[in-house]
Structure 1
């Protein structure tokens, strides 16, 4: 049996091990299925992406991403979703289907917030969720992993209230998949440097976390733009138009395209947030990524230490 056909046969055998029982998500990054592992009987989540391959039929960037995910797995972090298996099967000479098998968690943060009875989550629950979210993020950042797509749908919450970050380290794999599919990705949690197509690093995740923090109080997103420019406009309505010195030099969208705005008090947009929470939110939603608080410093912020 040739190398490629042996590879395909092994992948088919792996895929047969998992029996899909329900579709639990979909969108730009492909479909997510709840499935049952025929060997153990436990439920898992299957995420498949189509990736382009090189001349030898290997999806190299995907191999690197999966190796990274597997390396992080050995730490068994409580706030990181577990990657349990990887199946790959060639579809064509130029394309391979990669299926990632994760532990299954029944709900994401979006669903959790929607299910919360009025008037919303208690202050101590928001603080607990934030501690866990930032703890998971600090773990990723300490291992030089940038999530790049943090949003409520990518944050899982177990029935016991345990937070687990999902879909981290997959951004490059997804960008390859997105070249093959019509894509609509939400802008609402994107940092200004990403919207401006400037250089970026770990602070992009802190911005997204700030947006999610505000949403836990509001139970609706803080910034709902319809395009990159519209999203930036919505952001500046709250944080004010940044100074010329803070505006990145390497971007096509210039500061003069936006009307002058003064910052508004955060409690106007995020009612019920306490003063320490407001201070943390401000530090997370700093326009300048270099001034944005780090995940490690956020963990030690006074808001996290407060008792209800």
Structure 2
């Protein structure tokens, strides 16, 4: 995974001949870091050696007042090297001094003592390879004890000489915490060994370096005194137009007094650090034993404790918030799961209910369909029986009447002379003696009352032609022959004898040609209001 995938570039905070310095943020947890982007192609062999030395030194240094080194990445394609280090958001001490010059202000003495005590602790870690001892109960330094002597360094411990102490290499973090950095010119030496080469800044060069002597731990103390003096006076303690004049002033070791706003204790400590004879300079262990330094350390511990408590409180709040969000998420998931389960059960219940309703409805429909079919079948059979009974009753009555009549009545008229229905298939379907002319005095029908006509006085006029179908009055239920109709005597005179035509009007219509060809004179009737209904026997 490339750097772009793991880090977000926020801003550019510096640059140099070796590359640029950027502020980046780690994507996984949002941690802010400083990234040095160094190009191998633009570095000389000496610069590469210094970079390698910085790798070695930073990997061995772990202290709250030293810039933390995290890791490095080598980009083979672009031949770049990325160093990820601790980010110091308040800049460096050189910027603070320039701001004071621009505003015409002085640094507060408490701020100066705080910077001084933290730098002493950082140098103690570099010079002795171990962390400074904890501040004891003797806060005011009433007894010297072991603090006045140099600490015992374990055999084989690597001692680090910074060799480039200056305000630009003193970084400030949150709450003005000091972070000593830029160990590119530092050198790791064995205990009690000395470096013979000076590679630092001339303004902070010690007298022994000017005399071409070896570089020792006390050389860093000289540079520390120069930094503190510049922080108070806003200018270096030794300044000149030429390098030769600068060396001469450094060898003399004379400095101007500090402004009156600073205490004599502070001025004396700075003078002790700027002694020409390195043996008379205090080491970091002695400086840590100063009452003010011990007090500053205690105050710093309290500040760090409060900071740690705040960080822990914020961490607990974040965890509490995360737990609350997780609980809320679980509650939402629980509610969603419950709703989904309820919806699933409801859908399942609805499906089962619909299936049960459909089953019951289908069963009821089958029962109703069966009952309907049975009812229809029963009604059809009853209707068939009724119609069959109605159809065969006239034949039985006619047969009974024929059997009751004497033989001579049946022989008086030829059987072929009775009209038959052209629709029926045999003579048994209708009575054979339906003509009014066949009636006699001995007929049993004489006792029956003659049927009165339903015609009203304002009825339709009779036609002039006899036998017109419009004058036919049909008997019910079976059709009657035209010859059996009883016509008015005023129209026709006497009743005509039965014809040999078929016994209904439809058969007569079939023989219309022969019937209507007969020439007959029209006879006027006296009245067409009503027909004469005979009251006697035929």
Fold in common (TM above 0.5): yes
1:110 aligns with 2:100: no
SS in 1 for 2:81: strand
Partner of 1:140: 126
1:284 aligns with 2:270: no
Relative to structure 1, the CA distance from residue 40 to residue 275 in structure 2 (aligned partners, 3 Å threshold; closer, same or farther) is: same
Correspondent of 2:173 among 155, 158, 181: 158
Which digits, 9 at most, give the CA deviation of each residue in 1:259-291, with x for residues without a partner? xxxx46x42x55544222222112211223233
Relative to structure 1, the CA distance from residue 227 to residue 23 in structure 2 (aligned partners, 3 Å threshold; closer, same or farther) is: farther
Partner of 1:231: 246
Count the aligned residue pairs. 249
Correspondent of 1:87 among 73, 77, 81: 73
Query: Does the 8 Å contact 1:45/1:104 carry over to 2?
Result: yes
Q: After TM superposition, give the deviation of residue 217 of structure 1 in Å.
A: 1.0
Q: After TM superposition, give the deviation of residue 30 of structure 1 in Å.
A: 4.7
Q: After TM superposition, give the deviation of residue 149 of structure 1 in Å.
A: 0.9
Partner of 2:117: 131
Relative to structure 1, the CA distance from residue 65 to residue 122 in structure 2 (aligned partners, 3 Å threshold; closer, same or farther) is: closer
Query: Does the 8 Å contact 1:112/1:157 carry over to 2?
Result: no
Q: After TM superposition, give the deviation of residue 214 of structure 1 in Å.
A: 0.5
Rounded Cα–Cα distance in structure 1 between residues aligned with 2:19 and 2:259? 33
Q: After TM superposition, give the deviation of residue 202 of structure 1 in Å.
A: 1.8
Relative to structure 1, the CA distance from residue 42 to residue 134 in structure 2 (aligned partners, 3 Å threshold; closer, same or farther) is: same
Q: After TM superposition, give the deviation of residue 27 of structure 1 in Å.
A: 4.1
Consecutive unaligned residues in structure 1, runs of 5 or more? 1-9, 54-58, 174-183, 240-262
Rounded Cα–Cα distance in structure 1 between residues aligned with 2:3 and 2:71? 9
Q: After TM superposition, give the deviation of residue 35 of structure 1 in Å.
A: 2.6
Q: How does 1:206-285 map to 2 (within 5 A)?
A: 206-225=221-240, 227-236=242-251, 239=253, 263=254, 266-267=256-257, 271-285=260-274
Relative to structure 1, the CA distance from residue 190 to residue 47 in structure 2 (aligned partners, 3 Å threshold; closer, same or farther) is: farther
SS in 1 for 2:202: coil
Greater alpha carbon shift after TM alignment, 102-111 vs 192-201: 192-201
Q: After TM superposition, give the deviation of residue 227 of structure 1 in Å.
A: 5.0
Partner of 1:71: 60
Relative to structure 1, the CA distance from residue 298 to residue 62 in structure 2 (aligned partners, 3 Å threshold; closer, same or farther) is: same
Partner of 1:24: 13
Q: After TM superposition, give the deviation of residue 198 of structure 1 in Å.
A: 2.6
Relative contact order, higher structure (CA 8 A, sep 6+): 1
Rounded Cα–Cα distance in structure 2 between residues aligned with 1:283 and 1:18? 47
Greater alpha carbon shift after TM alignment, 126-135 vs 294-303: 294-303
Rounded Cα–Cα distance in structure 1 between residues aligned with 2:5 and 2:213? 44
Relative to structure 1, the CA distance from residue 230 to residue 166 in structure 2 (aligned partners, 3 Å threshold; closer, same or farther) is: same
Partner of 1:248: none
Greater alpha carbon shift after TM alignment, 149-158 vs 218-227: 218-227
Partner of 1:101: 84
Which digits, 9 at most, give the CA deviation of each residue in 1:60-96, with x for residues without a partner? 87556424322323xxx2211111121234589xxx6
CA RMSD in angstroms comes to 3.3
SS in 2 for 1:200: coil
Rounded Cα–Cα distance in structure 2 between residues aligned with 1:33 and 1:279? 40
Query: Does the 8 Å contact 1:218/1:271 carry over to 2?
Result: no
